[in-house]
Structure 1
Amino acid sequence: MTEPTFKKISVIGLGYIGLPTAAMFASRKIEVVGVDVNQHAVDTINRGEVHIVEPDLDLAVRAVVSEGYLKATTEPEPAEAFLIAVPTPFKGENHEPDLKYIEAAARAIAPVLKTGDLVILESTSPVGATEAMANWLAEARLDLTFPQTAGEASDIRVAHCPERVLPGKVMQELITNDRVIGGMTAKCSEAAARLYRNFVTGECVVASGPRVAEMAKLTENSFRDVNIAFANELSIICDKLDMDVWELISLANRHPRVNILQPGPGVGGHCIAVDPWFIVSSAQEQAQLIRTAREVNDSKPEWVLEKVRAAIGAHLMENAKCSATEVTVAVYGLAFKPDIDDLRESPALNIARHLAGEHTGPLLVVEPNIHELPRDLEAARLVDLATAGAADVHLMLVDHTPFKASAAPSGRIVDARGVWG
Structure 2
Amino acid sequence: MDLIAVFGLGHIGLPTAALFAKAGFEVIGVDINPDIVNLINQGISPIIEPGLDELLLEVVKKGKLKATGDGEYAARKANIMIMVVPTPLSADRSSDLSAVISASKTISKGLKKGDLVIVESTVPPTTCERIILPILEESGLKVSKDFGLVYTPERALPNNTLYEMTHNARVIGGIDEKSTERAITLYDKITKGEIVKVKDIVTAEMVKLMENTYRDTNIALANELAIICESLGIDAIDAIEAANYHPRVNLHIPGPGVGGHCLSIDPYFIVEMAEARGVHARLIRTARQINEEMPYHVLQLIKDALNDTGASIQDSNIGILGVAYKGNVADTRETPSKPLIDALIQEGAQVVVHDPYVKNEIIKAMGAEPVTLKEALKCDCIVLMTDHDEYREIEPNMIHGRVFICARPILQPEKFKEKGIIFKGVGRP
Matched, 1:145 2:142: yes
Structure 1 position 217, deviation (Å)? 0.7
Aligned partner of residue 335 in structure 1, secondary structure: coil
1 CA distance for matches of 2:248 and 2:107?
49
Alignment of 1:342-361 (within 5 A): 342-355=331-344, 357-361=345-349
Structure 1 position 402, deviation (Å)? 0.5
Task: Give the letter aligned to residue 338 of structure 1.
Answer: G
C-alpha spacing 1:379/1:278, structure 2 compared with 1 (3 Å) = closer
Which range moved further: 239-248 or 162-171? 239-248
Matched, 1:81 2:75: no
C-alpha spacing 1:324/1:201, structure 2 compared with 1 (3 Å) = closer
C-alpha spacing 1:343/1:155, structure 2 compared with 1 (3 Å) = same
Structure 1 position 137, deviation (Å)? 1.1
In the other structure, the counterpart of 2:419 is none
In the other structure, the counterpart of 1:275 is 266
Aligned partner of residue 182 in structure 1, secondary structure: strand
Which range moved further: 10-19 or 51-60? 51-60
User: Any conservation in 1 of the 2:363–2:369 contact (CA below 8 Å)?
Assistant: no
Aligned partner of residue 398 in structure 1, secondary structure: coil
Which range moved further: 181-190 or 195-204? 195-204
User: Any conservation in 2 of the 1:80–1:117 contact (CA below 8 Å)?
Assistant: yes
User: Any conservation in 2 of the 1:353–1:376 contact (CA below 8 Å)?
Assistant: no
Structure 1 position 168, deviation (Å)? 1.2
Task: Give the letter aligned to residue 103 of structure 1.
Answer: I
* Unpaired runs of at least 5, structure 1: 148-153
Aligned partner of residue 145 in structure 1, secondary structure: coil
TM-score normalised per structure 1: 0.91
Aligned partner of residue 208 in structure 1, secondary structure: coil
Aligned partner of residue 341 in structure 2, secondary structure: helix
Number of equivalences: 401
Structure 1 position 286, deviation (Å)? 4.2
Q: Show CA shifts across 1:39-95 (max 9, x none).
A: 1111111111111111111111111111111111111222011100011112232x2
In the other structure, the counterpart of 1:111 is 109
Identity %, equivalent residues: 39
Matched, 1:332 2:347: no
1 CA distance for matches of 2:338 and 2:163?
27
2 CA distance for matches of 1:246 and 1:263?
8
Question: Out of 48, 66, 71, which is 2:66 matched to?
Answer: 71
Q: Show CA shifts across 1:21-53 (max 9, x none).
A: 001001112111110111111111111111111
1 CA distance for matches of 2:341 and 2:55?
34
Q: Show CA shifts across 1:286-321 (max 9, x none).
A: 422222111111111111122223334444x25xxx
Structure 1 position 349, deviation (Å)? 2.8
Alignment of 1:203-222 (within 5 A): 203-222=194-213
Q: Show CA shifts across 1:116-166 (max 9, x none).
A: 111001001100111121111112x12x2223xxxxxx2111110111111
TM-score normalised per structure 2: 0.89
Task: Give the letter aligned to residue 129 of structure 1.
Answer: T
Question: Out of 186, 192, 213, which is 2:183 matched to?
Answer: 192
For the aligned residues, what is the CA RMSD? 1.7
Matched, 1:35 2:30: yes
1 CA distance for matches of 2:365 and 2:142?
50
2 CA distance for matches of 1:392 and 1:61?
44
Aligned partner of residue 360 in structure 2, secondary structure: coil
C-alpha spacing 1:332/1:81, structure 2 compared with 1 (3 Å) = same
C-alpha spacing 1:80/1:262, structure 2 compared with 1 (3 Å) = same
User: Any conservation in 2 of the 1:164–1:177 contact (CA below 8 Å)?
Assistant: yes
In the other structure, the counterpart of 1:18 is 13
2 CA distance for matches of 1:324 and 1:163?
42
User: Any conservation in 2 of the 1:159–1:183 contact (CA below 8 Å)?
Assistant: yes
User: Any conservation in 1 of the 2:326–2:386 contact (CA below 8 Å)?
Assistant: yes
Matched, 1:381 2:379: no
Matched, 1:369 2:319: no
1 CA distance for matches of 2:176 and 2:102?
24
Q: Show CA shifts across 1:214-272 (max 9, x none).
A: 01111111111111111100111112222222222223223333222110111111111
In the other structure, the counterpart of 1:134 is 133
Structure 1 position 186, deviation (Å)? 0.4
2 CA distance for matches of 1:192 and 1:134?
17
2 CA distance for matches of 1:392 and 1:88?
40
Task: Give the letter aligned to residue 136 of structure 1.
Answer: I
